[in-house]
Amino acid sequence: MSVMEQPTLSVGLRVRVKPSTIMYHHPDHRNQPFDIQGLEGEIIAILSDWQGRPISPNYPCQVRFSPKFIAHLHPDELEVISDPPR
C-alpha cells in the first residue's frame, strides 16, 4: 500500500496488526513471547505531545486490544479495518 492509499490514523479506528510483532506484556502470557500478528484492536491515542511539549515517539499509536492489554505500535504496523462509529 502506498503512502497515498494509507488512510490517516485517528482515535477510534479499528485496526489489525500486519507484521509479526512479539510482545512480552500480554496479560495471559506475561514474560513469555507472544505474537500479536492479526490481532484486532482500537486506537485510543495518537501521542504527539507530553505535558504540552511536542514529542516524536517511535511508536505513537496506542492500541487497546482488550481491557487489560494496551500496546504502543508504529503506524506502519497497523492496517485499518473499519471506521470509528458515528
Mean pLDDT along residues 32-57: 93
- For residue 44, pLDDT over 90 is answered with yes
Q: How confident is the model at residue 42 (pLDDT cuts 50, 70, 90)?
A: very high
Q: Could you tell me the pTM of the whole model?
A: 0.83
Give domain limits for the chain: 14-82
Please report, for residues 17, 40, 62, 70, 84, the alpha-carbon distance to residue 49 in angstroms, rounded to integers and kept in the order given.
24, 26, 13, 19, 23
- Strand, helix or coil for residue 29: helix
Q: Which of 18, 6, 5 is nearest to 63 (CA)?
A: 18
CATH of 14-82, one of 2.40.50.840, 3.30.70.2740, 2.30.30.50, 2.60.120.20: 2.30.30.50
